[in-house]
Amino acid sequence: MDTFAAIEGRRAVKLYDPNHKLTAEEEQKLFSLATLAPTAFNIQNWRFVILRNPELRQKVREVAWGQAQVTDASLLIVMCADLKAWEKDPARYWRNAPPEVQAFMVPAIGQYYRGRDQVARDEAMRSCGIAAQTIMLAAKAMGYESCPHGRLRL
């Protein structure tokens, strides 16, 4: 499926076959594509938590307005943002870049984020959104449907 078709055909589907499971290869492909989603300074401040435990998924469903896709979908991914990813060994993000690029980019990360918690939060939320959209489009291209979910009722 080409990109245009994936974008045009993607829908937030609510009903899933609870007996269908993605293969390990399909999951690996999905997440390898997700990690290609762009992030500011390449800091990859998203984290993917896969909930497999049926009892835990049922508890999540209870705070997710009782929506069946939480328990019935083949894969339940919780997107998390690491608001401090920028200060955890920032040189690692530019390890493979030429030395002159490293010399510029690594200090720039701290200069951009230090003391600017709202900026770090905004960038992390943007990065999670881009990664989530990448996952949904990749799933569509693989022949699967998806459904983003926002806030939980806590």
Structural domain includes residue 54? yes
C-alpha distances (whole Å) from 98 to each of 89, 90, 101, 102, 106 are 17, 15, 5, 6, 12
For the whole model, what pTM was predicted? Answer: 0.89
Bridge partners, residue 141, by sequence: none
Return per-residue pLDDT of the chain as tens, 154 residues. 788 998 899 889 999 999 999 999 999 999 999 999 999 999 999 999 999 999 999 999 999 989 999 999 999 999 999 999 999 999 999 999 999 999 999 999 999 999 999 999 999 999 999 999 999 999 999 999 999 987 655 5
**Number of domains comprising the chain:** 1
Q: Is residue 25 part of a domain?
A: yes
Amino acid (one-letter) located at 48: F
Range of the domain at 103: 3-141
**What CATH number corresponds to the domain at position 27?**
3.40.109.10
pLDDT at 3: 87
pLDDT at position 151 is 63
